[in-house]
Amino acid sequence: MTTATRPTTARRSLRIALASTAALSALLLTAGCSVVADIVPNKTPTKHFDTYADAPRSGESEDLAFFMPEWVPEDAEDIDVRLHVSQPGYVIGFSSAKGVDVGDCTKLDEPYGGPAMTADFLPSDLPTTGLVGCGDGRAVAEIDGRWYGWTTEEPIPGQDDTQTMHGAEH
């Protein structure tokens, strides 16, 4: 190999590397942040849905993480969901004129502490009593006219916490 070909080969390799980096950057920009979020381990992604109709529902979506729990009413709006994909942790908050049908839920007799994870949309002082469990392993309460559900630090006995992706992993 002559001295003249080495710089050409090095420049060609550099150009290929720069072009690959530019192509990957363009792909990430056009595909959105979800691509980046999908490759980050131990993530706690958050999603917002304007209405219940905008959110995925179990059995109707390939999105196994963010589908609406069965107890969320169909008139829910301003829905925020955050979950942890490698350990228990799911929180949801929404507004609803109809509200949650707590008649289908079970009153939690014992106090249950805070959530297994935090979220910016959760009130700072969540109640520990007067909660209900609606069958999916979350404590549910109405606070200042907004409904919240969260995975508690300690599992709620008798609840099926496998209804969400994170529940199936523990």
| Average confidence (pLDDT) per 10 residues, the chain, 170 residues | 54 48 41 42 77 80 73 96 83 96 91 83 89 92 95 81 44
Residues 13 and 61 grouped into a single domain:
no
For residue 31, the model assigns a pLDDT of: 41
For residue 80, the model assigns a pLDDT of: 95
Residues 94 and 151 grouped into a single domain:
yes
Q: How far is CA 62 from the centre of its chain?
A: 14
For residue 142, the model assigns a pLDDT of: 95
Overall domain count for the chain: 2
For residue 132, the model assigns a pLDDT of: 94
Helix (H, G, I), strand (E, B) or coil at 32: coil
pTM over 0.75: no
For residue 64, the model assigns a pLDDT of: 58
Domain of 13 in residue numbering reads as: 5-39
Dihedral angle, C-alpha 74, 80, 28, 64, nearest 10 °: -50
